[in-house]
Structure 1
Amino acid sequence: MAKTHVNPTRMELTRLKKKLVTAVRGHKLLKDKRDELMRQFLELVRENKELREKVEAGIHAANKNFVLARAGMTDEILNVALLSPKQEVYLDVGTKNVMSVDIPVFDYKTKTPDSNDIFSYGFAFTSSDLDDSIQSLQDIFPSMLRLAECEKACQLLAAEIEKTRRRVNALEHVMIPELRENIKYIIMKLDENERSTQIRLMKIKDMMLEEAHHYSQRERA
């Protein structure tokens, strides 16, 4: 029996059949979208894992060199060396559409193209370990930006995958079965009404034939 009240008419049957065709097509498109989102998501997860390992190794190396530099320098010299940064970074944030999801894209440029401008101090009183620490941070900076892109993209894609999955399940387990059940119910009622109409017509025909037969007998009498 249909879960919702429907009018068992041919017009309603035609409307529900069209709605079922649309729902089945939408279900297929959403499943394809979900599968593609999952593929993109898994690729980003793998890239995210590799980038995180690379960034963590770079930060670990930078921290190690900084500890060595601090051990060989006084706090006053170290603070003065890092007091005024020489290089500046300008970050440009854009978006890229992936399966109707806008994921961030980061691009950056430095104030000057000279790679030595990252050192804001003279080399007379500083240790080479401090240079290595700053150089390590500069080397992993592009990877850090890409890691930020990947992690945010993974969050957005995961949310879209969950939303798409709920829609697919709603169509597959609720809407499409309900439409098919209602269509089946209407067809059953229409067939039942048609059989009832045929029975009434046959009964009326028998009554008319019986009445005509009695009328003929009266005429002969």
Structure 2
Amino acid sequence: MARLNVNPTRMVLTSLKKRLKVAVKGHKMLKDKRDELMKQFLELARENKRLREQVEAQIGSIYSNFVIASAVMSSEVLNEALMYPKQGVSIEVGRKNVMSVDVPVFDFTTTTDDTSNIYPYGFANTSAELDNAIENLSGVFPEMLRLAAVEKEVQLLAAEIEKTRRRVNALEYVMIPQFQETIKYIQMKLDENERGNQTRLMKVKDLMVKAAIEEKQENTKAALEEYSSQF
């Protein structure tokens, strides 16, 4: 792992240690976030599978009723019966936050207060299969909205999991090893400089001691010569 290109000083070492501490803490938080996202993602995936199977089964039943209704009724009567819908809906899109991810929440309101008032035709010229199809279609609509919201939430969580995974890997395999390698390098350089300074100090001390000894010897010699000259 390549180290960072920095000056090996104590100030840089202190700064890198702080950055390493923050990176390790952030790495743990992101791993916890990724694990929680994965847990919620798996739960939503199971819910999505259940809802999709349920909605597809209901829509299949609705199509079957429509096919039977179109077989026992003329196309003109069927088209006339469904030409002007009696009940309408308006969809409201909200938001909720799931682990810092904004996911949509769908809700709907009907245009009339009586939600059971869904048949835009009289019952004299229509078949029971058409009635069942309209009723089942009205009943499956909330489940379809729920399925759409869950599928979108699954997509958003999957994207957030991938983004979080990349960040965790970047910290775990790039940034943290770089910080550790650089800190190790700076500590080695500082220790080397410290040993070099100690070696130079010891040499200077030896030179100073040697100079002091030589000076003392010269002073002693000069004193002896002066003393000898007096006799």
**TM (normalized to structure 2)?**
0.93
Q: How does 1:127-138 map to 2 (within 5 A)?
A: 127-138=127-138
The 1:116–1:202 alpha-carbon spacing in structure 2 relative to 1, beyond 3 Å, is closer
Q: Which runs of 4+ in 1 moved over 4 A?
A: none
Equivalent residue number for residue 54 of structure 1? 54
Query: Partner letter of residue 85 of structure 2?
Result: P
Query: Partner letter of residue 61 of structure 1?
Result: S
Determine helix, strand or coil for the equivalent of 2:117.
Answer: helix
Residue by residue over 1:9-55, the C-alpha shift from the partner in whole angstroms, topping out at 9 and shown as x without a partner, is 11111100000110011111111111111111111111100000000
Q: How many residues align?
A: 221
Query: Partner letter of residue 193 of structure 2?
Result: N
- Partner Cα separation in structure 2 for residue 7 and residue 219 of structure 1: 49
Among the aligned pairs, what percent are the same residue? 63
Compute the RMSD of aligned alpha carbons. 1.1
Query: Partner letter of residue 157 of structure 2?
Result: L
Where does the alignment leave 5 or more consecutive residues of structure 1 unmatched?
none
Q: How does 1:12-27 map to 2 (within 5 A)?
A: 12-27=12-27
Moved more, 116-125 or 196-205: 116-125
CA contact (8 A) 2:89 2:108 kept: yes
**Which structure would you say has the larger Rg?**
2
CA contact (8 A) 1:2 1:185 kept: no
Equivalent residue number for residue 92 of structure 1? 92
Where does the alignment leave 5 or more consecutive residues of structure 2 unmatched?
222-231
Q: How does 1:96-175 map to 2 (within 5 A)?
A: 96-175=96-175
Determine helix, strand or coil for the equivalent of 1:105.
Answer: strand
- Partner Cα separation in structure 1 for residue 46 and residue 131 of structure 2: 32
CA contact (8 A) 1:41 1:158 kept: yes
CA contact (8 A) 1:105 1:149 kept: yes
Equivalent residue number for residue 63 of structure 1? 63
CA contact (8 A) 1:91 1:106 kept: yes
Equivalent residue number for residue 72 of structure 1? 72
Equivalent residue number for residue 200 of structure 1? 200
Q: For residue 115 of structure 1, report the CA deviation from its aligned partner.
A: 3.9
Equivalent residue number for residue 41 of structure 1? 41
**TM (normalized to structure 1)?**
0.97
Determine helix, strand or coil for the equivalent of 1:180.
Answer: helix
The 1:106–1:2 alpha-carbon spacing in structure 2 relative to 1, beyond 3 Å, is closer
Alignment of 1:11 with 2:11, yes or no, is: yes
